Amino acid sequence: MPVELVNRVESTIQPNEHPYMNGAWTPQTEEFNGTDLEVIGQIPSDIDGVYVRNTENPVQQPIGRYHPFDGDGMIHVMSFKDGAASYRNRFVRTKGFQAEQEAGRALWAGLAENPAKSERPGWGAHGGLKDSSSTDVVIHAGRILSTFYQCGEGYRLDPYTLEQDGIEAWTPIDGISAHPKVDEATGELLFFNYSKHAPYMHYGVVGADNKLKHYTPVPLPGARLPHDMAFTANYSILNDLPVFWEPELLAKGLHVVRFHREMRSRFGIIPRYGSADDVRWFDADPTYVLHFLNAYEEGDEIVLDGYFEEDPEPQSSNSAPAGFERIMAYLDQSKLKPKLHRWRFNLATGETREQRLDDRVLEFGVINNQFAGRKYRYGYSAVSKPGWFLFTGLVKHDLESGESWTIDFGEERYGSEPGFAPRIGAVDEDDGYLVTFVTDRIADRSECVVYYAKRLDDGPVCRIMVPGKISSGTHATWGQGEAIRAARGG
């Protein structure tokens, strides 16, 4: 198994019992190139592209309490072509990562700590919270774009070599939130950001040529904490949800998040190149939505699917180690109770209708990206381990028939958000593969696992052994090889 250890990053992490620095969340410090990897089964010859995953991977001993979202971004890529696969992983060389490497210690306190403990002033990714670029990852204009949920800078990497291209030049002064969206039909990237100063939100469009085409304020009543957005062929969908900092405490410099149950949720629908005056706001039941699945236009309606949290402000976890009660609660999907949900916004009447699509606790959904922003049929959601931020399996939904199918990764096997890889010559929407990284606690290794989406009950098509053990994380994506090569001019 030809594996090249490219680099071992210096770390000051000390052995500890933190629940999110052990097990499937054990930090990884080694960067590898791997080819001719051990394979159980056979790699499909009709798959061409890259599966890319971002992970939270701390390098420095934390200042105070560590939250897993504080970890440094590490990108993992499995590349597929002609029935072969190769693997690479690299840390994202953010300004914060480089500064801490030079200092040999942590310079920023994390999400669970008072920002005043940081050696850098202010709040958020441009102040007391390090921009680790460890939350999300998409492929746009032929390159990876990694982002941080607290509106940091966008970092670009080559999707095959993981060569670092640095900070994206068009990054606005208020940064880029995680979850920019790529419209594969046009090549455009849609994004938003948020801040503690008026107008509190902005929205923008970047062209297929990677040039900023549009950037507009979207005024909100105050500081908010939006995490995701959605889009259709002609509109983008933003949100103003009733989970945000307590305003009176925020005025005193305290960042205390509350669910304001008396308030309605608001969804802002804006034409793709619209201005603040064009935004139409629709009221809906109070909730928080961490992630949306997809949206599309149907007659006069905008249809939006996502994960409606039934309890956005859960009680502390009684089983958590001392000091981690709140952290564990907000990472526990079984407490937040996200359910697959549908909103319909009627552009003619201004009416909102809502529908529950599944009563199971599900989150972190993906689709065939070729259907993003368009009417679609299939979605793939992650199943979480109760009490933990760990994925134990996947559920495929047929949103037309109402049928669903389940994958269980197996005992002590924890996967990642999958990517959907359309099969070369695919004839319909679910004709392709689900690709995920799985860490096996019993075998003490990580694998890339591939399933044929039309026959999930058959189990994995193949399992590819990965050098090193991947630390867990949040988001992943799939990029078609043909589209990447076309965007790069070759």
Using CA atoms, how far residue 370 sits from 52, 185, 189, 381, in Å, is 17, 7, 14, 17
What integer pLDDT is reported at residue 372 of this predicted model? 98
Q: How far apart are CA 29 and CA 59, in angstroms?
A: 7
What integer pLDDT is reported at residue 114 of this predicted model? 74
**ω before 199 within 30° of 0 (cis)?**
yes
What integer pLDDT is reported at residue 129 of this predicted model? 84
Q: How far apart are CA 360 and CA 273, in angstroms?
A: 37
What integer pLDDT is reported at residue 335 of this predicted model? 95
Q: How far apart are CA 189 and CA 208, in angstroms?
A: 7
Helix (H), strand (E), coil (C) string for the chain? CCEEEEEECCCCCCCCCCCCCCHHHCCCCEEEEECCCCEEECCCCCCCEEEEEEEECCCCCCCCCCCHHHCCEEEEEEEEECCEEEEEEEECCCHHHHHHHHHCCCCCCCCCCCHHHCCCCCCCCCCCCCCCCCCEEEEECCEEEEECCCCECCEEECCCCCCEEEECCCCCCCCECCCCEEECCCCEEEEEEECCCCCCEEEEEECCCCCEEEEEECCCCCCCCCCCCEECCCEEEEEECCEEECHHHHCCCCCCEEECCCCCEEEEEEECCCCHHHCEEEEECCCCEEEEEEEEEECCEEEEEEEEECCCCCCCCCCCCCCCHHHHHHCCHHHHCEEEEEEEEECCCCCEEEEECCCCCCEEEECCHHHCCCCCCEEEEEEECCCCCCEEEEEEEECCCCCEEEEECCCCEEECCCEEEECCCCCCCCCEEEEEEEEECCCCEEEEEEEEHHHHHHCCCEEEEECCCCCCCCCEEEEEHHHHHHHCCC
> Structural domain of residue 403, as residue ranges?
3-487
State phi, psi for 181 to the nearest 5 degrees: -115, 140
Q: pLDDT tens track of the chain, all 490 residues?
A: 589 999 999 999 998 889 999 999 999 999 999 999 999 999 999 999 999 999 999 999 999 889 999 999 999 999 999 999 999 999 999 999 999 999 999 998 888 887 767 766 554 555 678 999 999 999 999 999 999 999 999 999 999 999 999 999 999 999 999 999 999 999 999 999 999 999 999 999 999 999 999 999 999 999 999 999 999 999 999 999 999 999 998 888 788 899 999 999 999 999 999 999 999 999 999 999 999 999 999 999 999 999 999 999 998 766 667 777 777 888 999 999 999 999 999 999 999 999 999 999 999 999 999 999 999 999 999 999 999 999 999 999 999 999 999 999 999 999 999 999 999 999 999 999 999 999 999 999 999 999 999 999 999 999 999 999 999 999 999 999 999 999 988 6
Q: Domain with 184 in it: what CATH number?
A: 2.120.10.30
Beta carbons of 462 and 436 less than 8 angstroms apart = no
Q: How far apart are CA 291 and CA 363, in angstroms?
A: 7
Q: How far apart are CA 486 and CA 418, in angstroms?
A: 24
Counting Cα atoms < 13 Å in the Cβ hemisphere of 387 gives: 6
Beta carbons of 111 and 67 less than 8 angstroms apart = yes
Of 247, 293, 289, the closest CA to residue 267 belongs to 289
Chain-centroid distance, C-alpha 161: 21
Q: How far apart are CA 159 and CA 141, in angstroms?
A: 11
Q: Report the C-alpha dihedral over residues 160, 162, 163, 168, rounded to 10 degrees.
A: 110
What integer pLDDT is reported at residue 123 of this predicted model? 44
What integer pLDDT is reported at residue 116 of this predicted model? 67
Of 162, 18, 34, 9, the closest CA to residue 447 belongs to 34
Of 191, 254, 258, the closest CA to residue 224 belongs to 258
What integer pLDDT is reported at residue 121 of this predicted model? 54
pLDDT in tens, 91-134: 999 999 999 999 999 998 888 887 767 766 554 555 678 999 99
Sole residue written with tokens 């236009």 = 297
- What is the tally of structural domains in the chain? 1
Q: How far apart are CA 314 and CA 331, in angstroms?
A: 10
